[in-house]
Structure 1
Amino acid sequence: MAENGETPQNDAAQQANPVKMQILGQFIRDMSFENILAQKALKVEGRPAISVQVALDAKKRAEDHQFEVATKVKVESKSESGEQTLFILELDYAGVFLIENVPDEQMHPFLMIECPRMLFPFLRRVVHDVTRDGGFPPLNLDNIDFVQLYRQDMARRAEAQQSAAAVN
């Protein structure tokens, strides 16, 4: 066995066929920015409370080895008291990837972790620009731990399956 716990044959096979990932394109699939502060002529003082929700989606495309991965972000800004909504930004940002030499059992985590990680700087820039152009200080999203997000989603799915099995 090799030091990393893999057999020499597996290690040689991985070196002969390295993982290939290429971003073929990226785009905003859907976006909505609602500036409630301006619409209702609200006056707000203090520091706003920002909440960010993230969801991921991936699907196989008709072309060989191509996948579409989307990161959906909902950002809501409320007054410090939480009584007034200042703005709501919903962004569905997607990328088309060419992915080769990833084993089938590793493809789902690869799509839900590595692909969103590659798109995140671009998504962050869109959020920054839209909030700035919408009349607010530019919002710089914190880094997202896509591994933790994936684990939470898998735990939620397992819990839902257990609940469904208990009902039946």
Structure 2
Amino acid sequence: MSTQNGSPTDPKAPALNVLVQYIKDFSFENPNAPRSLGAPQGQPDVNIQINVNARPLQNGEFEVELKIDGNAAVQGNTLFAFDLTYGGIFRVINVPEQSLQPVVLIECPRLLFPFARQIIAEAVRGGGFPPLMIDPVDFAALFQQRMASEAQNMQTIGEA
């Protein structure tokens, strides 16, 4: 199969295209500055939560949102907190129905993550701290957890 400008030339080949990426919502707080910027009084506790949401648009397009919330604290005192919703519009073409959900909820956030990670690292650095480099995320494991949770919820509803 040959390609032209990175796109497959076979019209029936599966394809995933990133149409646009954007910051949908972003907040960074440094509530105890400048006091929090002094010498650290211990290793900070960093908590991060990551969620993926997707919704169909039209013509095989999906909006995918990567929501990353986090904070760092030392001895219960908040150093910083952030909340980022980073989104993208993806076109998914010729992907079998049984593969569509994994493509949208695994591959799309995998493409968005490095950009969201960089936004957070720069914001934390701009807040007066060393950049926070979030470890790579296993979106396949997050997807499996989500599917298991939905199956459990359906089972609970069926028993009610």
Q: Same fold (TM over 0.5)?
A: yes
How far 1:122 moved relative to its partner?
A: 0.6
1:33 corresponds to which of 10, 13, 28:
28
Q: Under a length normalisation based on structure 2, what TM-score does the superposition of the two structures give?
A: 0.87
Q: Which amino acid aligns with 2:44?
A: P
Specify the alignment match of 1:103 in structure 2.
96
Q: Deviations over 1:81-123 (max 9, x none)?
A: 3x21211100000011111011112111110000001111111
Q: Which residue of 2 aligns with 1:154?
A: 147
The alignment partner of 1:77 has SS state of strand
Whose helix fraction is larger, Structure 1's or Structure 2's? 1
Question: How far apart are the structure 2 equivalents of 1:28 and 1:164?
Answer: 36
Matched, 1:60 2:56: yes
What is the RMSD of the two structures over their aligned residues, measured on CA atoms? 1.6
Residue number among 130, 133, 137 corresponding to 1:140 in the alignment: 133
Which residue, 63, 77, 81 being the options, matches 1:88?
81
TM-score, length of structure 1 as denominator length: 0.83
Structure 1: tracts of 5 or more residues without a match: 1-14
* Count of aligned positions: 149
Larger radius of gyration: 1
**2-side partners of 1:16 and 1:56: how far apart?**
29
Aligned to 2:15: 20
Distance (Å, rounded) in 2 between the aligned partners of 1:37 and 1:116:
32
Structure 2 residue runs of 5 or longer lacking an equivalent are 1-9
1:45 aligns with 2:41: yes
Deviations 1:54-100 (A, max 9, x none): 000011113x1211101000011111x3x212111000000111110
User: Corresponding residue for 1:9?
Assistant: none
Report what 1:11 is aligned to: none
- CA distance in 2 between partners of 1:16 and 1:27 (Å): 28
- Following the alignment from structure 2 to structure 1, what is the Cα–Cα distance between the partners of residues 16 and 154? 32
Percent identity over the alignment is 36
Q: Secondary structure of 1:161's partner?
A: helix
CA distance in structure 1 between the aligned counterparts of 2:66 and 2:134, rounded to whole angstroms: 13
Q: Give the Å deviation of 1:16.
A: 6.9
